[in-house]
Amino acid sequence: MRNKYFQLPFILLLLAIWSCNSTKTIPEGDALFAGYSVKVKGEKDSSKRQGDMEVELSPVVRPQPNASILGWRPKLGIYNAFYTKKEKGLKHFIMTKFGEPPVLVSAVDTGNVSQIMSNRLHNRGYFNNQVGSTTTVKKKMGTIDWVAKVGEPYRIRKVAYTLNDSLPVHQDIKQTWSESLLKPNDPYDLGTMTQERVRIDAVLKNKGYYYFSPNTMIFSVDTTVGNRQADILLRVKREASAQALRPYTLDDIYILANYSVGDSLSTSDTLNVRGYHYIPDENYVKARHLLRGVFLDKDSLYTRQEHLLTTKRLAGLPAYKFVNIDYKPDTVNIGKLDAFIYLTPALKKSIRAEVQMVSKSNNFVGPGVTVSFQNRNAFHGSELLSLNLTGSFETRSGDTGAGTPPEGTETVGTGNLTSFQLGAQAKLAIPRIVSPFNLRNLRTEFVPQTRMGLGFDFLQRVDFFSLNSYNATYGYNWRPSQRFTFDATPINLQYVRLSNTSPAFQELLEDNPYLRRSFENQFIVGSIYQVTYSDQMLPDRANHFFDNVTLDLSGNLVSLVQGLAGASSPTDDAPRTLISDPYAQYVMLDNDFRYYLNIGKESQLVARLVTGAGFSYGNSSTMPYVKQFSVGGPNSIRAFRARSVGPGTYIPTESEQFSYFDQVGDIRLLGNLEYRFPIFGFFKGAVFVDAGNIWLLRDTFNDDGTVVKPGGKFEANNIISELAIGTGAGLRIDVEFFVIRLDLGIPVQAPYLPKGERNVLKDFNGSFSGTNSMVLNIGIGYPF
């Protein structure tokens, strides 16, 4: 991409497609269906629904015109540019696979479309309507305008229910009247009437009426009462079966714990566990663990709520691939149902190997390999055991990215930095709460988990250092509702040990007290607590919210115990130790807030604000290096390379820029605004603005009294001027199961430049190197 000549063929191809005549392949006597409009006009309509009706009627038009962007039809352009009558060859392949044939005006059946629109208006209460269309053709480009003329819609005068009080079902229906969707004086709406039947059915399903359905009820509408009014009568169909009008209770409950499709049902060989018939035995999953997810009880009233709760809870167990619950009427006891829970096991053990080629925005490139083993039923309780081995090799080449410091400061030259990384991680997820306390079973459709982890990671930066990291965790995860997720890790242990430091890196540590303290051998002994709110799974909402709050604590309990034991107070030169090495003591709070606004059918405006702060105290004068914040990169500020910004206006030294060790801080502020829109097919676009930086809470001084990182301390008055700001555009290839993302970032403000020179956009030259340079980010998935 650095070579302008490399881009020339793509530019020429784009111009050819853009300039290609849209009507090139239109037959004589016909025209391209270029667009349409739908207008609803009503002189006396006081319902103010004309705008909604226009939106509702527009999708009725079939076929739809060719997809366009600001008047440009890219797929039609590809079709015309590569048009051929041959049925084979490269041109035919491109024309059919990436192009789209022109949609002709003759293909639009205006009479049929007008009739469908009239029917839609009738369903919304406009019984007297007229729909017509006008076709206009200019230079083989045709547009069709539909106009629907309506008057005042019919309104509901009253709603009545014809019920026979002798049957329990009628009394249960009558009890739902207060929640009815049909209100007097509302416009007549067939859709609302359909929803009313569904609403009543949902209520009855939770009262034992297993065989009841919305079709058991029928509406009658009388529009002869005058004055554009309608009386609505709801009744149960006369031919409704006795089964549909009777509530049921549960009798025997059978659990087939190792079921395969096609198995014949046999209830002769069963285990009776707490009143349940467990078939055939406990060789796969033990009954006491499985029954935590079963909320159907013998002699209880059948309810859809308990049915769905049981289905979702069991489906969340790793040991099972499919869950199905069927009910059959008891042939002896009238009004009783036998429940059959069919559980089809998933593949118990699996091993997977992945080979990756990683190219990071900080110019680190290299191969990686990951080998994973999973056992989805490790101890006959649907426990998920995961073992992961990872290895990677990276080498850095080229410049550091985000630009060069002001004139007079040292800059990075060329060269390579090699990095090796090896890791091993064991994780165990138990689908229940394992605790010394006797906790009640949570009535939630999401499976609560107890998580355990044990791991080791080895990182070697050739010619610099080796870093060994050991970790152990014990925690819980549970979702009491769809929107809230709680994650508590009361035991979070980590030990970081630096070794094999080179003379150059050792000199860097000696010259930089802040960096030296960040890389100290130390224990992290603490807890992590997270709360996540998200309503993104709720459909039919114009906007969505996401918020994740993380509280990370370390060293407090150990410090308290040592203090009570009479240990001396810690100092910078003599901190308290744990097994001969110091431990970190800090508190860190981080918040990630996102807002999603849906604009139209596929477009979306997304805003994100990330704030975080870490404060070290007591036994620590700095935050551990692995806990400090950094910004820049494909999921942060995309116009600056990873970890290349901050802290504050600090300008890294040559060695720091080369190795990316020191651009970290205690405070983080990051904001993103992104507009996402469809292009055509699975191609989607985005434009974005990113801003942010990191800062230090306090200055650290060298032995001679000078500040270690001048300009790095947080000053509230300087926040805006010290933000790194970038903008740009992106392309997403969004297929159903993954997203490939390409974002091109352009820097706007660089905080490391002197005041008055931080606006780098005015000198932007469109290249990929230097201060006023673009940054290309390649990633998987959306950035947020």
Write the DSSP assignment of 124-154 as a string of letters.
TT--SEEEEEEEEEETTEEEEEEEEEE-PPP
Reading the block at residue 770, the tokens are 């230097």
> Residue 9: its pLDDT value, please?
46
The phi-psi region of residue 226 (left if phi > 0; otherwise alpha if psi is between -120 and 50; otherwise beta) is left
- Residue 593 and residue 610 in contact, taking contact as beta carbons nearer than 8 Å: yes
Residue 18 pLDDT more than 80? no
What would the mean pLDDT of 370-388 be, rounded to a whole number? 95
Q: What percent of the chain has pLDDT over 90?
A: 46
CA dist., res. 370 & res. 423, Å (int): 9
> Residue 360: its pLDDT value, please?
53
Mean pLDDT check: name the lowest of 73-82, 106-115, 738-747: 73-82
Mean pLDDT of the chain: 85
Residue 356 pLDDT more than 70? yes
Looking at the DSSP bridge assignments, the partners of residue 773 are 767
CB atoms within 10 A of CB 403: 23
Residue 405: which of 655, 657, 745 has the closest Cα? 657
41 backbone dihedrals φ, ψ, rounded to 5°? -115, 130
> Residue 714: its pLDDT value, please?
92
Most confidently predicted of 318-332, 393-407, 674-688: 318-332
> Residue 161: its pLDDT value, please?
82
- Residue 176 and residue 199 in contact, taking contact as beta carbons nearer than 8 Å: yes
**Could you tell me the pTM of the whole model?**
0.78
Check residues 760 and 314 and name the one with the higher pLDDT.
Answer: 314
Mean pLDDT check: name the lowest of 176-185, 376-385, 775-784: 775-784
Q: Where are the alpha helices (DSSP H) in 20-81?
A: 50-57, 74-81
Residue 16 pLDDT more than 50? no
Residue 554 pLDDT more than 60? yes
CA dist., res. 586 & res. 105, Å (int): 70
**pLDDT (tens digit, 9 = 90+) per residue, 41-81?**
886 666 677 778 888 899 899 998 887 776 778 788 888 88
Query: Any idea what the Cα angle at residue 178 is, between residues 174 and 184, rounded to 5°?
Result: 105
> Residue 527: its pLDDT value, please?
95
**Residues in CB range of 196: below 8 A, 6 or more apart:** 180, 181, 182, 234
Check residues 687 and 437 and name the one with the higher pLDDT.
Answer: 687
27 backbone dihedrals φ, ψ, rounded to 5°? -65, 155
Structure confidence at residue 615 as a pLDDT band (50, 70, 90): very high
Residue 768 pLDDT more than 70? no
What would the mean pLDDT of 301-321 be, rounded to a whole number? 95
CA dist., res. 237 & res. 583, Å (int): 75
Residue 401 pLDDT more than 60? no
> Residue 44: its pLDDT value, please?
65
What would the mean pLDDT of 281-302 be, rounded to a whole number? 93
The alpha carbon of 195 is separated from its chain's Cα centroid by a whole number of angstroms, namely 30
**Residues in CB range of 375: below 8 A, 6 or more apart:** 348, 349, 383, 384, 385
Residue 457 pLDDT more than 60? yes
**Residues in CB range of 94: below 8 A, 6 or more apart:** 78, 82
213 backbone dihedrals φ, ψ, rounded to 5°? -150, 165
346 backbone dihedrals φ, ψ, rounded to 5°? -85, 170
Strands 271-273 and 349-359: unpaired
